[in-house]
Chain A
């Protein structure tokens, strides 16, 4: 089991959790202040290439933060799937970013730096914060006029690794090299436009840049943990759940869950398309086992009351998929006990026999029913009448709220 990030809500009382956040905020404010982020001319002069102090702090911080994150993930200390990664909304991000840029050069601050300026009694910072409160108010009043734009072009938890189809280690190296190049170029520009002599800056920064690149290469060599690595870490904890059938859901419980509107039930049918077309449960989603890996981010981003039930014809394939999802830190994943065959044996009616097909016997992970046509979810058994069935079963579905943060610092 990967120990970090901690799930503070379940470890600490609320005041203690808030104390941790207060401390993080304190350090954030302290570092912003010593970096000169409360001084608006420093912030603005980076846009005239005169003093790139803020630019340097900013890109150094991104690279250092990134390297520490991916290094701790590579050595198995931090679960990248459990940290908040800002979802991508392309066009509202671009337009919002441009507006922010205008605000930056006019106002001389950004929200974080204006708070530090206010805290250190800079009057221009106080005016910026006041304007900021007005901006929030105006946004709340106007966003409804264009909410399709605001919520459109949504790509979910999309990373640079997904965009460029490269492993994390390579992206980390490229970002590090780009940042080092930008910082080097920044110093050249400062020399031209700001008459700053880069020779006066400490030599240590060259060694620092070297260390960053070496760490980036090390991250690429170690590599990020694979699903198999993750399952090996997890097996001692979740392996028993499989053995004791703690994660196998009885047909009766699944039927009841259809009607439990407090839960967001997601059914993943991992059989091949032919079997899926012959028969599947109403609202089940067809995903092949090899497609699961690419959908992990989407599963992680589902709402906190989501319960995922994986099903195949029997249990073998669905159990493998369960291992993949659970190893990748997708919470609340269950296996449908006995698979589609068990479901049909439980719920097929006389109507099924006449209209849809009949029971035959076949091998493991094959459909035990012969359908007359590709009926999909049109047979009655795809959505049995809840009132006709009452089962005694051991309840297995339990909502585990220990999951990735569902909101970043922007909500």
Chain B
């Protein structure tokens, strides 16, 4: 349904789609209530919480499998996802990831926030922002694999189900970020 609508809009009003006036974001508490309800619905219906880094890691395994299929079968961590005939994309978490992309895009279009731009602190160039985004991405997913989940899969989902380890991960994430924040304040202020 939404796919079709988008196609039509793209064909006929491509410019309008990306040049709509940006609306402000929702009230954070309202957003939190809605996010909590989505999280609950996920557990209630499927028994599983939300996740994001799992999807990313399977996409990475898929790319690696395309480039070096023989190598996959020698790395124990990758075998479970993409070893032999396994398709790393054939997992519910990859489908959730696809849904996140479509949902984010849809909301961005509706609220006029889907546009090419770089958001950054006022005192750095776009290139610096991109470099640090890239480095941050490497660190974040590396840590997420080590901790078996990121802010979605561990902190949010595990937090709501009262997993002890997830609360430890949550405080470690916030602790790490607050600890380093002062030293990299130029990036954002």
Contact = CB atoms under 8 A, between A and B. Distances in A.
A121 B105 CA distance: 8
A109 B113 contact: no
Interface in B104-141: 104-108, 111, 113-121, 126, 129-141
A107 B180 CA distance: 12
A36 B137 CA distance: 19
B158 A133 contact: no
Contact residues on A (Cβ < 8 Å of other chain), bracket: 35 or more
B47 A25 contact: no
Given A28-B103, A144-B77, A405-B48, A85 B161 contact: yes
Contacts of A103: 135-143
B66 interface: no
Nearest to B137: A131
Contacts of B148: 86-87, 89, 92-93, 96, 408, 410
Given A131-B136, A132-B141, A205-B29, A97 B92 contact: no
A202 B33 CA distance: 15
A393 interface: no
B178 A47 contact: yes
Nearest to B129: A124
A195 interface: no
Interface string B24-59: 011111011111111111111111111111111101
A234 B75 CA distance: 44
Contacts of B188: 41, 44-45, 47-48, 108
A181 interface: no
A136 B75 contact: no
Given A5-B43, A33-B111, A122 B169 contact: no
A104 B178 CA distance: 10
A59 interface: yes
B108 to A, nearest CB: 3
Given A4-B44, A122-B117, A159-B162, A47 B177 contact: yes
A97 B143 contact: yes
B60 interface: yes
Contacts of A59: 32
A101 B179 contact: yes
Interface of A: 4-8, 17-18, 20-36, 38-42, 44-45, 47-48, 52-54, 56-69, 72, 77-78, 80, 82-90, 92-125, 127-141, 143-144, 147, 150, 155, 157-163, 168, 171-172, 175, 201-202, 205, 208, 404-405, 408-411
Given A4-B45, A136-B57, A172-B162, 18 more contacts: A5-B46, A40-B133, A61-B33, A64-B37, A64-B40, A65-B40, A66-B160, A66-B161, A93-B169, A98-B172, A100-B144, A104-B151, A112-B52, A116-B100, A135-B137, A140-B78, A175-B162, A411-B80
Interface of B: 18, 25-29, 31-57, 59-61, 63-64, 75-78, 80-81, 91-93, 95-108, 111, 113-121, 126, 129-181, 184-185, 187-189
